[in-house]
A and B are shown apart, each in its own frame.
Chain A
Amino acid sequence: MSDTPRAMRQPFSLRFGSAAFLAFWCLLAAFPIVWITLMSFKSPVDAFAANPFDVIFGPVTRDRGNGLSVLDIVLGLVVLFFAIKLAFSWLPRKVNEWSPNGHVWAGWIIGAMAYGVAFIFAFFLILPAILGVLNPILGPLGNPIIGLTTEHYQTIWVERGFYNNFINSLIVVGGTVTISLTIGTLAGYGLARSGSNIAFWILIVALIFRALPHSVLLAGYLPVFVNSAEILRPWLGDNAPTLYGQPLAVIAVLVSINQPFTIWMLRSFFQNIPNELDEAARVDGCTHFQAFRWVIMPVMWPGVITTGLFSFLLAYNDYLITALLLDGTNQTMVPAIAGFFNRETTTTDQVVAVAAAVSIIAPLFLLVMIFQRQIVSGLTAGAVKG
């Protein structure tokens, strides 16, 4: 503080005001999410209790024999702490050691999956078993103090088959991100390196497409998708597929809807990479495509990751398109949850739906945790200058 010039120092009132505002904002930002997470672990009576402390501590849930003792909480936190620490120090080292040359990403996929399975095994199977033995021995320390139950999660994932929707979401999201990045990087590069009028007009049209309400396009898709078997029959014979309800068709739609945004964003990233780099590669005898593949792509990863994140969010969060273009068996998570609400009649149903909603948020939470730096720096480097 002492080395800042006097004029730059802030009066106490300003510092206090800005800190108070930040605290208030953080509360506002986190409260709804934290609260529904709390609700999802309580029995319905507690989840909709009038007294906020009942929602936090869950007396009814606890009386039913579902609760956490001081020991549970302490041990659980210790295991979580070490799990996170291992994930950030030990896991990257092992992945780098074991992955085959040049395929670190494959090593990461396998490593992350193995780590996830091991964590679930340790945290949800071994730990409860140990605690089951320890709690009765320890007397007051082992008595449950906070009511907590995972029964709603079991209901939603096991009994109501929510894992089907989860798998559908994975298919749709994975397909959308992969295809839109592959096509988008090519187009973004082409547009960034071409100063022609055509490139300008493509970008303007893409901007208008970006602004289109999705419902406009849906009105065009639906009749074609529903009748696609008849329309395609002259070309494909009797095997012509009905596109309505097919995840693949939805992927194509989401990729296209996402293209305008992807190419704008990637184009501004490519513009930040100096032209001299590909010129040097071209002098060395590369074709345009080789220069793109071997010289430009390796320095483009931050931009690709940021754009990929936005594509992920678009596909993962979409309700309108998936609700109308997918039928019941192929539904992704978001429309499935909206469906739960229309059927809900009791408070139990409501809490089950809350649990489903929290399950949807969890991957997003992880995503921000891992990629927070990329999101901020990616936006600084790219879209902002667009």
Chain B
Amino acid sequence: MKFKTFIWFVGPSLFLMLLFIALPLYAVLMGSFQVTQPVMQTVEVESCSAGFLTQSCTTEIRTIPVLDEETGEMLTTTEWVGWLSYERVLEPQRAWDAITSLNYGALMQIDFWAALRFTLMFTFITLPLVIGVGLAIALAVNNAAKSIRGPIIFISLLPFIITPVIGSLSIYWLFVGDGILTRGIENLLDRDIAMFAQAWTIELLMLFYRVWHVAPFAFVIFYAGLQTVNQDTLESAIIDGATRWDRLKYVIIPHLMPLIIFIALIHLMDSYRVFDEIVGFRAEAHVISLQYLTFDFLQPDDAGNRAFSRASASSMLTMVGIVILLIPLLRRTWRDHKGSSH
């Protein structure tokens, strides 16, 4: 295909990605080194209140924002502050003190480190679970009678397709104070349970939710892969006396390996940006993720201001994290590409 034709085909998509992904990314990078603040001025204000015979007056010095004379809006200045926003997010001094004094609790007091801890833990615990559960369901469905596969696939797809915020809410309602499962467990154990009063139970529920939500996706992909397993290889393995376990280990799993890597990759990307669960479980008081941290900075505070520079800094840090996680994979793709072109 000629380059010109290629551009005609790819151009619109490329344009959108440049305008709405690359450009904002650049803006965020720049924004993370700048701080925009309203211009303030100090004025002497004399305020008087009515009094008998003489007014009682006080003068004080106040700091007020400068207003634009034409529009009446606040004037702002943008300053280049270098790494200041990063320092405010990372709080290196406090973090270092906590690390050197081996005070884990103090480190977790800093939002960024707590969010990083949770995000990484979340990603790496759910990854093997999703692959394992997905594979187990795929094998079991493949084993089931053909007539019931349709309905089972239908039911299995539901957790994947459901809106994440709503899905986590539906589990939240089962475990909320007077939810049906909480009551059931309370009856069994004969003690009070409050699933949403401490961090670890919420984290457990979030891990469970994510596996519940993504395992069906893994299942569908693995199930599709299982349909293409070479029957001849399987049969020769049987003739060679391979047990069921051997066949799974030496024939089926190697055949599915590209799919396992595909799932791992997609899951890595998606669980690193865990966010919807925190909204659904209303966990923000106990646990937050990196993406939630940025969201929180971007939400207008009581005065209607958004902490753009800190949001930019924290989102750049989030991005650095995902790129580090992706490096092994990108290197592999690069090797494959080089290999195929020679």
Give A residues with C-beta under 8 Å from B. 5, 7-8, 10, 14-15, 18-19, 21-22, 25-26, 28-30, 32-33, 35-36, 39, 48, 50, 52, 55, 183-184, 186-187, 189-191, 193-194, 196, 198-200, 202, 204-224, 252-253, 255-257, 259-260, 263, 288-289, 292, 313, 316-317, 319-320, 324, 334, 337-338, 341, 354, 357, 360-361, 364-365, 367-369, 372, 375-377, 379-380, 383-384, 386
Given contacts A50-B183, A187-B13, A220-B24, contact A386 B150 (CB under 8 A): no
In the assembled complex, how far is the CB of residue B335 from the closest CB belonging to chain A, in whole angstroms?
12
**B residues within 8 A CB of A357?**
166, 169-170
Determine whether B103 belongs to the interface, using a CB cutoff of 8 Å to chain A.
Answer: no
Mark each residue of chain B from 1 to 20: 1 if its CB lies under 8 Å from any CB of chain A, else 0: 10101101110111011011
The chain B residue with its CB closest to the CB of A217 is B24
**Which label, helix, strand, loop or mixed, suits the secondary structure of the B interface?**
helix
Determine whether B75 belongs to the interface, using a CB cutoff of 8 Å to chain A.
Answer: no
B173→A360 contact, CB < 8 A: no
**B residues within 8 A CB of A317?**
163-165
Q: How far is the CA of A222 from the CA of B276 in the complex (A)?
A: 20
The chain B residue with its CB closest to the CB of A317 is B163
Q: How far is the CA of A116 from the CA of B153 in the complex (A)?
A: 26
Q: Looking at chain B, what size class is its interface with the partner chain? A: 35 or more
The chain A residue with its CB closest to the CB of B321 is A213
B279→A319 contact, CB < 8 A: yes
Determine whether B308 belongs to the interface, using a CB cutoff of 8 Å to chain A.
Answer: yes
Given contacts A22-B152, A33-B170, A320-B275, contact A14 B180 (CB under 8 A): no
Determine whether B112 belongs to the interface, using a CB cutoff of 8 Å to chain A.
Answer: no
Given contacts A209-B17, A368-B154, contact A199 B6 (CB under 8 A): yes
**B residues within 8 A CB of A380?**
224-225, 227-228
In the assembled complex, how far is the CB of residue B16 from the closest CB belonging to chain A, in whole angstroms?
4
B140→A22 contact, CB < 8 A: yes
Output the residue of B137, B165, B262, B337 with the most chain A CB within 10 A.
B165
Interface window among B55-63, B92-100, B196-204, B215-223 = B215-223
A368→B173 contact, CB < 8 A: no
Q: Which of B158, B159, B291, B334 contacts A214 (CB 8 A)?
A: B291
Q: How far is the CA of A214 from the CA of B315 in the complex (A)?
A: 9
Q: How far is the CA of A259 from the CA of B221 in the complex (A)?
A: 21
**B residues within 8 A CB of A187?**
9-10, 12-14
Q: How far is the CA of A292 from the CA of B153 in the complex (A)?
A: 34
B170→A257 contact, CB < 8 A: no
Interface window among B39-47, B124-132, B322-330 = B322-330
A217→B140 contact, CB < 8 A: no
Q: How far is the CA of A211 from the CA of B320 in the complex (A)?
A: 11
B162→A364 contact, CB < 8 A: yes
Interface residue ranges of B305-319 to A (CB < 8 Å): 306, 308, 311-312, 315-316, 318-319
Please give me the 8 A-B residue pairs with the lowest Cβ-Cβ distance, nearest first. A220-B24, A190-B9, A256-B20, A187-B13, A380-B224, A215-B294, A213-B273, A216-B315
A204→B330 contact, CB < 8 A: yes
**B residues within 8 A CB of A368?**
154, 157-158, 161
A288→B1 contact, CB < 8 A: yes
Q: How far is the CA of A156 from the CA of B139 in the complex (A)?
A: 42
Output the residue of B154, B173, B259 with the most chain A CB within 10 A.
B173
B6→A384 contact, CB < 8 A: no
Q: Which of A29, A205, A320 contacts B158 (CB 8 A)?
A: A29
Given contacts A35-B180, A324-B295, contact A14 B244 (CB under 8 A): yes
Q: How far is the CA of A292 from the CA of B20 in the complex (A)?
A: 27
The chain A residue with its CB closest to the CB of B234 is A8
In the assembled complex, how far is the CB of residue B113 from the closest CB belonging to chain A, in whole angstroms?
17
Output the residue of A7, A189, A198 with the most chain B CB within 10 A.
A7
**A residues within 8 A CB of B163?**
316-317, 319, 334, 360-361, 364
Q: How far is the CA of A7 from the CA of B216 in the complex (A)?
A: 30
The chain B residue with its CB closest to the CB of A222 is B298
A215→B291 contact, CB < 8 A: yes
In the assembled complex, how far is the CB of residue A163 from the closest CB belonging to chain B, in whole angstroms?
18
Q: How far is the CA of A386 from the CA of B333 in the complex (A)?
A: 12
In the assembled complex, how far is the CB of residue A193 from the closest CB belonging to chain B, in whole angstroms?
5
A219→B158 contact, CB < 8 A: no
A208→B158 contact, CB < 8 A: no
Given contacts A25-B156, A361-B166, A368-B154, contact A32 B174 (CB under 8 A): yes
**B residues within 8 A CB of A361?**
162-163, 166
Given contacts A360-B163, A368-B161, contact A320 B291 (CB under 8 A): yes
A52→B180 contact, CB < 8 A: yes
Give 11 CB contacts A-B under 8 Å: A19-B140, A26-B152, A30-B158, A207-B333, A211-B322, A212-B21, A213-B290, A219-B308, A320-B276, A364-B162, A367-B161
**A residues within 8 A CB of B159?**
29, 33
Q: How far is the CA of A187 from the CA of B238 in the complex (A)?
A: 46
